[in-house]
């Protein structure tokens, strides 16, 4: 089975099975990945699922919408490849993806 790896700020890795159709946020919550809270339940309203993707994934996943951009604008650790995990649906081609978590969440 394909995997998605969540990399903590301190270098620890949390490997999860890829489950198509779930959001990255739900995948992290279901697997007890620390640092992904998903307080709003995945409706792009809290920012507790901020992740940083490798830039090559941005072209494959598409850009964020205005609502996600507005939420991300409040993050001091925002990077050009920052996304909210609740807005990214997991698909088969994401196998092997490494998702970096920032040091702090909102």
Which pTM was predicted?
0.92
pLDDT, one tens digit per residue, over 67-95 is 999 999 998 889 989 999 999 999 999 99
Q: In the chain, where are the structural domains located?
A: 3-100
The mean pLDDT of 2-20, rounded to a whole number, is 96
pLDDT, one tens digit per residue, over 53-70 is 988 888 888 778 899 999
Q: How far is CA 81 from the centre of its chain?
A: 11
Interior angle at CA 88, CA 41 and CA 29, nearest 5: 45
CATH fold, domain 3-100, is Ubiquitin-like (UB roll) (3.10.20)
């Amino acid at each position: 089975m394909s995997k998605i790896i969540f990399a903590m700020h301190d270098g620890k890795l949390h490997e999860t099975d890829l489950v198509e159709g779930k959001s990255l946020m739900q995948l992290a919550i279901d697997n007890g990945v620390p640092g992904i809270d998903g307080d709003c339940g995945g409706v792009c309203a809290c920012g507790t699922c901020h992740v940083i993707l490798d830039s090559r994934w941005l072209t494959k996943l598409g850009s964020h919408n205005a609502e996600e951009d507005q939420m991300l604008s409040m993050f001091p650790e925002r990077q050009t490849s920052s996304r909210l995990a609740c807005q990214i649906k997991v698909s088969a081609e994401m196998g092997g993806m490494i998702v970096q978590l920032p040091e702090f969440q909102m």
